Structure 1
Amino acid sequence: MISYTTPVISKFGTLKNCICSLFIATALVTAGEASASTKKQVKKAAHSAAPVAKKDESHFQQWKEVSSFIDSMVSKHGFTEAELKATFKQVKYIETARQLMRPAPPGKPKNWKAYRARFVEPYRIEAGVAFWDKYADALAKAEREYGVPPEIIVGLIGVETIFGKQTGGFRVMDVLTTLAFDYPDTPTRDARMQFFRGELENMLLMARESSLDPFVFKGSYAGAIGWPQFMPGSIRKYAVDFDGDGKINLTDSPVDAIGSVAHYLSMHGWKRALPVAFPATLVVAEKSEQLNTALGKGLLASYQLQDLKAIATTASVEAPTTIQYGLVDLQNGNDATEYWLATENFYAITLYNRSYFYAMSVYDLGRVIAAARQK
């Protein structure tokens, strides 16, 4: 059995304003959904504030919902009631994590250019070139095994954690428990609590499988861990021992992170040698029914290029005519919206984080780093 090694906290900052993870498919504040100013405030809070615990709500082992969760873990996975009660007695309620999960207040319109500038910037580009040079062999191996090119892996890790420099300082058990049983009052509260209870279950299983104290795992305010910001469930399902040392370590092994990102994308629809996206020009008027229908397809490439010609076209001669596309809009505040024809590989990135802004930032950062490396 592959085991997980004890994570080590990054020396850079105490908290991580994770844009992923998820997320993560949807575990975090959705990338690109808030204004740039709001996101900047969240980022500042996540990096500068210490985790805040509400003392009057910190005794999780006394909560009825937690007792039910413990009973479930005992019956499903063979934990003992006593050990889990002792574990939850050590958990701290993290108000900071709860507050950072609140939806951003209404503000400025979405702005792709402002969002992109936060990630495709000189520091990440320089760090990305160095990372690529140092781990070129592992990146080449990941492409051979999983079909994911280096620029996508490099772009994703660069967006997530600036190549391991911002991996988070929360105890994962604390934030997962807080969010699993006291998620903020939002329209999706019940679904989000169910998600985090599932991740809490995976966290306890991962710790047991590794014979590790669950409190040694550190991560983002949503519980994402390591260089690629995987949630515990994703670690158990998609992380790989890519450096061959018999252990999975997404915090201290960039090689494991590289292989795990490639494996994750390959399992979520990435196709070898398929392009990602092509800039497009609208043929129809904005807000037309045809346009709204095409944009309403969601995270799906369902059009042939010929079918889209009545809605949007691309000047790129490199766009294959034999594959499927979706239409993506990148809003620019008061400026003109950008439109792109996205392939299945673009949508595979959105399954790492369900945001067009996020996926395009990964794609752009990787391309810019590749170009800088050639120079």
Structure 2
Amino acid sequence: MTFLPHPLSRRLLRRPLPRCWRALPLLLALACAAAPPTGAIAAASAAQTKSATATPKTAKAAKALKVAKATRAATIVKAAPRPKPLARAVDYAGEPVNFREWKAVADFEQEMAGKHGFDTEALKALMSQVNYIDSAVQLVKPAPPGKAKNWQAYRDRFIEPVRIDAGVSFWNDNAAALARAEAAYGVPAETIVAIIGVETVYGRNTGRFRVMDVLTTLAFAYPETPNREARMRFFRGELENTLLLARKSNMDPLSLVGSFAGAVGLPQFMPGSILAWGVDFDADGRVDLRDSAVDAIGSVANFLVQHGWKADQTGPLAYPAEVSLNRAWEPLIGQALAARNSAEELAAAGAISSLALPAGKLFGLIDLQNGAEATEYWLATDNFFAITHYNRSYFYAMSVVELGRALRLARGM
């Protein structure tokens, strides 16, 4: 932050200092030099000063001097430990609720025991430690109606200097793993890096909720919405997957920390996605998306391939389009998260691109609304729609495309 001095201050600053003040810096320096250090560092500093001024007369004295220097260095290092990542800290106040008194939770425990062989008493003890998280309930509620979608505002949240700089560093640090993933799965490095950047800024924002807390809350206390029953089934399934993942990975399920919806690690996989598509890409015997960037890279690439990414499709993931005024093209938007129309079909409906489209390929017409400004239209490929399976949003997929392009430019590619 920059502070502008008051005009009076500026006039005073132009005047020469009184002679008595000119010695002030020297007096302050002498005072600081005379003041003793504090704490453990002071003891080590004093020991070193005393040892340095005395001449060692014996081997024993020389050894003592060496020990004193080592002690001081170790003490200073200990006094300034490296900060721990903030992403792991749970910073919410969960409300203690006895979920075990809820019939639906008791039925879930019985199902897990019968279906998967979990120990009933151990599961009861675990569920008694789970908290209700009201903030998760509030966060999953639909946005208020009436607010216009704005692609440019959404884009600006992700295509910005901090995320680009961090993405270049991540790419450079993991260049070998990214090249290996691109060779194995056919997914370009820029797309993998961009997804991890959009999701968590390369591990900086992986979430600060206990996964067991938020999934239990959303599985049994989802807010009243038109799709409430379907969402509760989804989160109940992810609660089941969390217990299976914890058992498979030999971890305490309460130690798993993630987003308010239960997504975990650098790429924000739900527990079920970790079980289904997580890859031990660093070959250490376990899938670790929280601390292994290499596993995250392999898992993102595998997810995209399993959801329709085609390695033989090169070139842009989407082509800019112009649409006619007759709006015959309008029913083609949002048909499905897939490329289903040929270039000829789209042109017949009044949607064309100024760029040459690859022959024999299918496309899907998408719209990116810009609030009061003109809507953007694009012809999206299969690979674009593979990204929408990661997050079912055209805005999301296009932000991945745009961030990937920005990362390539920043790396001079």
TM-score scaled to structure 1, two decimals? 0.85
Is 1:215 the equivalent of 2:254? Answer: yes
Higher mean alpha-carbon deviation, 344-353 vs 296-305, is at: 296-305
- Listed as ranges, the matches of 1:138-217 within 5 Å are 138-217=177-256
Q: What percent identity do the matched residue pairs reach?
A: 55
- Report how far residue 245 of structure 1 moved: 1.1
Residue from 394, 408, 411 that aligns with 1:356: 394
**1:12: how far off?**
4.5
Does the 8 Å CA contact 1:10/1:164 hold for their aligned counterparts? Answer: no
Give the Å deviation of 1:51. Answer: 2.1
Cα distance in 2, alignment partners of residues 181 and 79 from structure 1:
20
Once residues 102 and 219 of structure 2 are traced to their aligned partners in structure 1, the CA distance between those partners, rounded to angstroms, is 12
Per-residue CA shift, 1:125-164, capped at 9, x if unaligned? 1111111111111111111111100111011000000011
Does residue 1:99 correspond to 2:174, yes or no?
no
Report the alpha carbon displacement of residue 192 of structure 1 after superposing the two structures with TM: 0.3
How many matched pairs? 327
1:10·1:169 contact (CA, 8 Å) conserved in 2?
no
Which position in structure 2 is the counterpart of 1:342? 380
Distance 1:13 1:117 in 2: 27
Aligned residue number for residue 3 of structure 1: none
2:86 aligned residue (8, 11, 32): 11
Quote the Cα distance in structure 2 between the aligned partners of 1:273 and 1:135.
24
Does the 8 Å contact 2:318/2:378 carry over to 1? Answer: yes
Q: Distance in 2 between matches of 1:269 and 1:348?
A: 5
1:369 — aligned with what?
A: 407
SS of residue matched to 1:155: helix
Task: Give the conservation status (yes or no) of the 8 Å contact 2:323–2:377.
Answer: yes
- CA contact 1:327–1:342 (8 Å) conserved in 2: yes
What corresponds to 2:337 in structure 1? 299
Q: Which residue of 2 aligns with 1:324?
A: 362
What's 2:37 paired with? none
Post-superposition Cα deviations, 1:55-85, rounded to whole Å, max 9, x if no partner, equal: 4xx1111110000101111110011211111
Task: Specify the alignment match of 1:37 in structure 2.
Answer: none
Name 1:283's counterpart in structure 2.
324
Is the contact between residue 339 and residue 385 of structure 2 (CA under 8 Å) also seen in structure 1?
yes
Work out whether residues 303 and 324 of structure 1, in 8 Å CA contact, stay in contact via their aligned partners in 2: yes
Is the Cα contact below 8 Å between 1:280 and 1:340 reproduced in 2? yes
Among residues 95, 100, 103, which one is paired with 1:54 in the alignment?
95
Alpha-carbon offset, residue 108 of structure 1: 2.4
CA displacement at 1:13 relative to structure 2 = 8.0
Q: Which has the higher contact order (CA 8 A, sep 6+)?
A: 1
Tell me how far 1:302 sits from its aligned partner. Answer: 0.7
Unaligned runs of 5+ in 2: 1-83
User: What letter is aligned with 2:240?
Assistant: E
CA distance in 2, matches of 1:167, 1:11: 9
Single out whichever of 306-315 and 232-241 deviates more from structure 2: 306-315
| 1:247 counterpart SS class | coil
- SS class of match (2:143): coil
Q: Please provide the CA RMSD for this pair.
A: 1.4
The 5-angstrom pairing of residues 263-274 of structure 1 reads 263-274=302-313
1:52–1:96 Cα contact (<8 Å) kept: no
Q: Is the Cα contact below 8 Å between 2:329 and 2:346 reproduced in 1?
A: no
Kindly provide the amino acid, as one letter, of the partner of residue 324 in structure 2.
V
Is the Cα contact below 8 Å between 1:98 and 1:178 reproduced in 2?
yes
Question: Does structure 1 retain, via aligned residues, the 8 Å contact 2:334–2:366?
Answer: no
Q: Is the 8 A contact 2:321 2:354 kept in 1?
A: yes
Task: Give the match's secondary structure for 1:248.
Answer: coil
8 Å CA contact 2:249, 2:286 repeated in 1: no
Q: Unpaired segments of 5 or more residues in structure 1?
A: 1-8, 16-49
Counterpart residue identity of residue 234, structure 1: S
Farther-moved stretch of structure 1 (102-111 vs 263-272): 102-111
What is the CA-CA distance between 1:213 and the residue it aligns to?
A: 0.9
- 1:333 maps to what in 2? 371
With the length of structure 2 as denominator, give the TM-score of the two structures. Answer: 0.77
Question: Based on CA coordinates, which of the two structures has the bigger radius of gyration?
Answer: 2
The counterpart of 1:309, out of the listed 324, 335, 347, is 347
Q: Distance in 2 between the 1:193 and 1:282 partners?
A: 40
Partners of 1:260 and 1:13 in 2: how far apart?
21
